[in-house]
Amino acid sequence: MSEVNHYVDYRREGGIAFLSMCHAPVNTLSYELRCAIDHYLDVAEQDQEVKALVLRSELSAFSAGADISEFGTEKSFAEPSLPALCDRIDRFPKWVIAEVAGYALGGGLELALAADKRIATRGSKLGLPEVNLGILPGAGGTQRLPRLIAPSLAARMMCDGKPISSEQALDLGLVNALLASSEHSEAAIHQLLKECEAGTPDNMFEQDYSLSREEETALLEYQAQQARRWTGLKSPQAIIEAVQRGMKSSLEDALALERKLFNDCAASPQARALQHAFFAEKDALKVPGINRDDARLAIQEVAIIGSGLMGCGIAINFLLAGIPTRLLDVNSEALEKARAYIQKTIESGRDKGRISAQICEQAMAALSTASDYEDIANADLVIEAVFEDLTVKQSVFKELNRHCKAEAILASNTSTLDLNAIADVCARPENVIGLHFFSPANIMKLLEVVRTERTSEPVLATCLKLAKKINKVAVTVGVCYGFVGNRMVAPYSREAFRMVLEGASPSQVDSALREFGMAMGPIEMADMAGIDVGCMAALANQHEWQGEESYQALQFALREQGRLGQKTSAGVYRYDGGKKQEDPEVLALAKEIAQSQGIEQRNISKEEIIQRCIFSLANEGFRILEEGIALRSGDIDVIYLNGYGFPRWRGGPMQYADETGLQNVLQGLENLQKNLGAYGERWFAAAPLLKELAQANRSAKSFSNV
């Protein structure tokens, strides 16, 4: 009895019983909370005085849904299971009103859907986000929601996975009344019960439902519209099936169908991958010894040195967060252009309805420019984004060291340079850190936070806290060439270009990887970034490939011809009228280079393309892990999911390796090493850590530097 009181507060006032969940912090529907709810349902059912039951929360949220930490454990389905609890509430012989405040998500909303009526406070959120974890609502949500609102809209809400506001829920008929605040609930409850007086409590099990022809057409049209976005995804398709077939069956049969579809999805590699991604993003925020609450400095003013492509994108993040930001550049024309570009970008966000007119105005008012370091002396954070040249960057940091206040954080956006060498020119190296944004910096979610040998803990904590404020997914990494993301992309791109020399067409390589799920193929990505940029990166990394002529030889030859990618309307592909086309001239050029280097051309299968690119990516990931540059394999995955268009439903390159089985990855690499001659010998040696884990039958996930 005392145990259940920890989870639920129960009291009766006249004929109404109030069952208030109080399982801090967010009423996850753990086994213990379910037992407590079930217990008080018994009490309310047996108490003759009780005419109606109000299911609510003592906390600021109604419920965040199932307890994800129970997933895969016996507790998850131990009785009373969540589906059983929802069924019981649906069949409950007395009126049940769910009072939603804060948010009702996933299982939390399913619980509310099983009640007879729902009231919600203004501003609360209701949603079924299971699709984001590769599953579907499994406690009746796929069946009760389309029985309450238009089935096609119910399917949209579940397939989108995004919560809706209580105001939208009222319009849809999902809630029966809105409250200005939870303090006004008593009157609304009495009003609802008054309206109910004449009837008997709803029981969906005993009612007839059907799917109208119009609704079925709307459902299937929606499915067809989403076909491209859902490529490779299992759970949205399962949701459509659950709604379409379920609405034509009794609730009992429909729930059995939901259970089957739920189990199929839950057991799929995709669900494992999406759940891995979810947890990996949470874990990436945990850095040993670093507590974001220890953030030392309030960042009230930011300065950005270099107002080029990256400087502008980075500035927009801070401006939209309402932080005054000053751009400094040696080139006054660049500063003028930057101001115009930032204004255009922010205003276009407003015109598309992504930001309010007020935020737009505030952001522009927060922007200023400077040409003198004296003007940025007060900045709390300075981010350098000048040319990728160590000497230039060191000269900037010497100026920062001279002019900035003692506690200012001095950050660099370098993609590849040695941050320790940059920190060396400062008298306060503990304040130096890498903040590696990705292009376009105002859109890409990823932020690699690069910790040098001497970066202080409070500086790191401040940057991690700040990342959240500007809505970035931050991953802490160590210093090495290219850090995590760009270092791994090197072998991935090397294989893509090498296979073109070996006889694959660029579009074959790109399509194979797109089919695998990548947002873009590696060759079209190189054209987009600029062939010259790729060549510069390869040159900067020369020590890796000296003596290996084939290394991106095609890129160097294209650069010679002035084919620099999309920006010159020709790179590996030709872009006539902006449309990408395979270019026979490039195929001939590749053949010529292959002949001159003694590379035999042949047919290359899709499987080989995927193995060579993705296994190379993961293999480099194992080296990075072994060197301690990344803390965990999940951190590497978070980087690839948020910065490189790796399909979330595959969980990232390291999760893909785990799912494939490390022994199979090792075997694949060893075969490539054997079959690709001297080239294979040179580039396909498996990382020692991969070998070690594979031999011990362990996963990448099981290894940690934490």
Question: With respect to ligand NAD, which residue has the nearer C-beta, 209 or 373?
Answer: 373
Q: Which residue is nearest to ligand NAD (CB)?
A: 308
Catalytic residue (one of 99, 110, 524, 620) = 110
Q: In the complex, what is the shortest distance from the CB of residue 308 to ligand NAD, in angstroms, rounded to a whole number?
A: 2
Choose one: 86-94, 150-158, 328-336, 673-681; the region binding ligand NAD (CB under 6 A).
Answer: 328-336
- With beta carbons less than 8 A apart as the criterion, state whether 244 and 143 touch: no
Question: Coil, helix or strand for 703?
Answer: coil
Which of 404, 349, 410 minimizes the C-alpha distance to 374? 404
Structure tokens at 244: 């379409």
Q: In the complex, what is the shortest distance from the CB of residue 475 to ligand NAD, in angstroms, rounded to a whole number?
A: 15
Applying CB under 6 A, does 331 fall inside the site for ligand NAD?
yes
Told to judge if 130 belongs to the known catalytic residues of this protein, a careful annotator would answer: yes
CB neighbour burial string for 248-259, b if at least 16 within 10 angstroms, e if fewer: eeebeebbebbe
Applying CB under 6 A, does 388 fall inside the site for ligand NAD?
yes
Question: Coil, helix or strand for 3?
Answer: helix
Distant-in-sequence, close-in-space partners of 133: CB < 8 Å, separation ≥ 6 = 68, 271, 274, 275, 278
| CB atoms near residue 207 (< 10 Å) | 10
Instruction: Give kind and range of the element (H or E) at residue 497.
Output: helix 485-501
Q: Name the one residue in this structure whose structure tokens are 């492509």.
A: 309
Report in angstroms the alpha-carbon separations of 3 from 7, 8, 22, 41, 236: 8, 9, 12, 16, 39
Applying CB under 6 A, does 330 fall inside the site for ligand NAD?
yes
Applying CB under 6 A, does 455 fall inside the site for ligand NAD?
no
Told to judge if 45 belongs to the known catalytic residues of this protein, a careful annotator would answer: no
Choose one: 8-16, 355-363, 379-387, 622-630; the region binding ligand NAD (CB under 6 A).
Answer: 379-387
Q: In the complex, what is the shortest distance from the CB of residue 366 to ligand NAD, in angstroms, rounded to a whole number?
A: 20
Applying CB under 6 A, does 392 fall inside the site for ligand NAD?
yes
Q: Which of residues 212-251 bind ligand NAD (CB under 6 A)?
A: none
Whole-angstrom distance, CA of residue 32 vs CA of residue 28: 10
Report in angstroms the alpha-carbon separations of 371 from 301, 378, 496, 548, 690: 17, 15, 43, 45, 50
Q: How many residues bind ligand NAD (CB under 6 A)?
A: 23
- Tell me, residue by residue from 435 to 454, as one string, x for binding to ligand NAD by CB under 6 A and - for no binding: --xxx---------------
Question: Coil, helix or strand for 412?
Answer: strand
Applying CB under 6 A, does 308 fall inside the site for ligand NAD?
yes
* AA letter at 586: V
Choose one: 6-14, 126-134, 225-233, 380-388; the region binding ligand NAD (CB under 6 A).
Answer: 380-388
Whole-angstrom distance, CA of residue 265 vs CA of residue 260: 9
Q: In the complex, what is the shortest distance from the CB of residue 634 to ligand NAD, in angstroms, rounded to a whole number?
A: 23
* AA letter at 559: R
Applying CB under 6 A, does 188 fall inside the site for ligand NAD?
no
Among 65, 80, 140, 311, binds ligand NAD (CB under 6 A): 311
Applying CB under 6 A, does 369 fall inside the site for ligand NAD?
no
Q: In the complex, what is the shortest distance from the CB of residue 399 to ligand NAD, in angstroms, rounded to a whole number?
A: 8
Catalytic residue (one of 13, 32, 99, 130) = 130
Whole-angstrom distance, CA of residue 5 vs CA of residue 303: 53
Question: With respect to ligand NAD, which residue has the nearer C-beta, 2 or 542?
Answer: 542
Among 80, 146, 306, 653, binds ligand NAD (CB under 6 A): 306
Q: Name the one residue in this structure whose structure tokens are 């974890």.
A: 133
Among 8, 59, 386, 700, binds ligand NAD (CB under 6 A): 386
Whole-angstrom distance, CA of residue 455 vs CA of residue 423: 9
Among 27, 307, 442, 462, binds ligand NAD (CB under 6 A): 307
Active-site positions read 110, 130
Residues that bind ligand NAD (CB under 6 A): 305-311, 329-331, 334, 385-388, 392, 396, 413-415, 437-439
